[in-house]
Amino acid sequence: MATQLDEIISLCKRRGFIFQSSEIYGGLSATYDYGPLGVELKRNVRDSWWRNMVYLNDNVVGIDAAILMHPTVWKASGHVDAFNDPLIDDKQSKNRYRADQLIEGYIAKLRKKGKDDKADAVYERLVEALNSEEMPAALYAIIQEEEIRSPDSGAFDWTEVRQFNLMFSTYVGPASDTENKVYLRPETAQGIFVNFHNVRETSRLQIPFGIAQIGKAFRNEIVARQFIFRTREFEQMEMQYFVKPGMQMEAYDKWKQLRWDWHVSNGVNPDKLRWHEHEKLAHYADAAVDVTYEFPFGWQEIEGIHSRTDFDLKSHQEYSGKKQEYFDQQENERYIPYVVETSVGLDRTILMLLFDAYRKEDVDGDSRVVLGFKPSIAPFKAAILPLVKKDGMPELARKIEADLKRHFNTFYDEKGAIGRRYRRMDEIGTPYCITIDGESLDDGSVTVRDRDSMNQERINKDRLSGYLLDRISQG
């Protein structure tokens, strides 16, 4: 049976991966804190992305732009005018829905009932409505004509559909007037676009080249749910790749492949990954595809790869009055580069990795929960476990721990039955358990238990760090 979301949420809280934000005050909805294990997992995934995008590509460099930006940035990017979700309220329950998602839910219900023809027809109308100039009215018309009822109250008593801007705003300085209004960035990409020339000039890069960034983004999502899948504060890992106009499809295909390979390299089961080609493209895009993952709540987007033409740089040129052109020395021509972007949510990637790694197994009449993380992303690479808390075993174990800690993160535990200590490590995904026993004191050997096979091997302590480093880098 598929792992349910509440099993993952409960494990995350129980073992210190992820907590509800401000929990002692009843929590703040759709906002989460990463605990001691979650922060390690997140850091490993973040480092893996950075290594993969920046260190392994000699024409990609990184930046870290501010969250607050000049408000005109968001005019130029289109977010002030168009970063909206269509909203509808159930007048009886007072609950708020995204009108397009309400219709999607209705379509899914039709399919479940075997009414595929009808579902196809409504879907076609939905796509048309989303592309229409009169999007709110067109969505409202579908809801009315299909008599779509509220999922919570069952009522058919809706407000009109209204557009709701997803950006959070605040004020700089003491005066809260419109002139001082700024936004919390809803994506990290714009920090890259506005630094295009700064980075190009200082790094002396020639096109094609990329700029990568990891950072927080904020969206006032109307319906935020499914744990860390959709939150109001989240982290994005984005890269903008600047190319000569006409070369974008080559870059798009290359990055599509590289991004897929990265997810698989983190241990994600490729059978649970799928491409989703966009049927409706944003007006400035000439290709767009999502990497989706099969969660228990359906196939959902993890990452978007978008060919964005010269839309962003052109728009910033227009709004700022500063030329955003590039002089191509080889071609002896001037142009505004085209952009292919890869944009992945760090928190969503974490949720995918948790689902993908989670398994329950029966072992000799006992059961165990395992997070089968790839060693490279596991919070701890090894646990150091003296068999008993006496006879010099803890002292030797501490020495071994000090040696291993120079290379990677380890966990020390000397309390309780060894079987129970193994289970605790399985549940947080620690790939190796090192046990120090009586024999270790005599001949310096220790046992290394493998989390997945549960096989144990005897290794001399002097060979231990090399042995583990070898395995961690392979697996």
Binding site for ligand ATP (CB under 6 A): 187, 219, 221, 230-231, 234, 236, 301-304, 343-345, 347-348
**Least distance (Å) between residue 53 CB and ligand ATP:** 15
**Least distance (Å) between residue 311 CB and ligand ATP:** 15
Question: Residue 317: exposed, middle, or buried by beta-carbon count in 10 A (0-12, 13-18, 19+)?
Answer: middle
Q: Of 301 and 414, which CB lies nearer to ligand ATP in the complex structure?
A: 301
Q: Please give the Cα distance from 268 to 187 (Å, whole number).
A: 25
**Least distance (Å) between residue 43 CB and ligand ATP:** 18
Give residue number: closest CB to ligand ATP.
345
**Least distance (Å) between residue 76 CB and ligand ATP:** 17
φ, ψ of residue 262 in degrees (nearest 5): -65, -45
**3-state SS string over 150-212?**
CCCCCCCCECCCEEEECCCEEECCCCCCHHHEEEECCCCHHHHHCCHHHHHHHHCCCCCEEEE
Q: Of 91 and 216, which CB lies nearer to ligand ATP in the complex structure?
A: 216
Q: Of 219 and 421, which CB lies nearer to ligand ATP in the complex structure?
A: 219
**Least distance (Å) between residue 456 CB and ligand ATP:** 39
The sign of the torsion formed by the CA atoms of 452, 52, 305, 237 equals positive
Q: Of 348 and 449, which CB lies nearer to ligand ATP in the complex structure?
A: 348
DSSP character string of 320-370: H-----EEETTTTEEEPPEEEEEEEEHHHHHHHHHHHHEEEEEETTEEEEE
**Least distance (Å) between residue 346 CB and ligand ATP:** 8
**Least distance (Å) between residue 285 CB and ligand ATP:** 11
Q: Please give the Cα distance from 423 to 379 (Å, whole number).
A: 16
Q: Of 288 and 433, which CB lies nearer to ligand ATP in the complex structure?
A: 288
Q: Please give the Cα distance from 160 to 113 (Å, whole number).
A: 28
CA angle (136 as vertex; 132, 299 as ends), nearest 5: 80
Q: Of 302 and 397, which CB lies nearer to ligand ATP in the complex structure?
A: 302
Tokens of 463: 């060979």
Q: Of 200 and 263, which CB lies nearer to ligand ATP in the complex structure?
A: 263
Collect all residues with Cβ–Cβ distance below 8 Å to 286 and sequence separation of at least 6: 248, 307, 309
Collect all residues with Cβ–Cβ distance below 8 Å to 435 and sequence separation of at least 6: 385, 386, 387, 418, 446, 447, 449, 456
Q: Of 231 and 248, which CB lies nearer to ligand ATP in the complex structure?
A: 231
- Give the H/E segment covering residue 50: helix 36-50
Q: Please give the Cα distance from 403 to 435 (Å, whole number).
A: 15
Closest-CA residue to 458 (of 471, 469, 470, 447): 447
**Least distance (Å) between residue 390 CB and ligand ATP:** 49
Q: Of 237 and 393, which CB lies nearer to ligand ATP in the complex structure?
A: 237
Torsion, CA 291, CA 247, CA 188, CA 168, rounded to 10: -90
**Least distance (Å) between residue 304 CB and ligand ATP:** 4
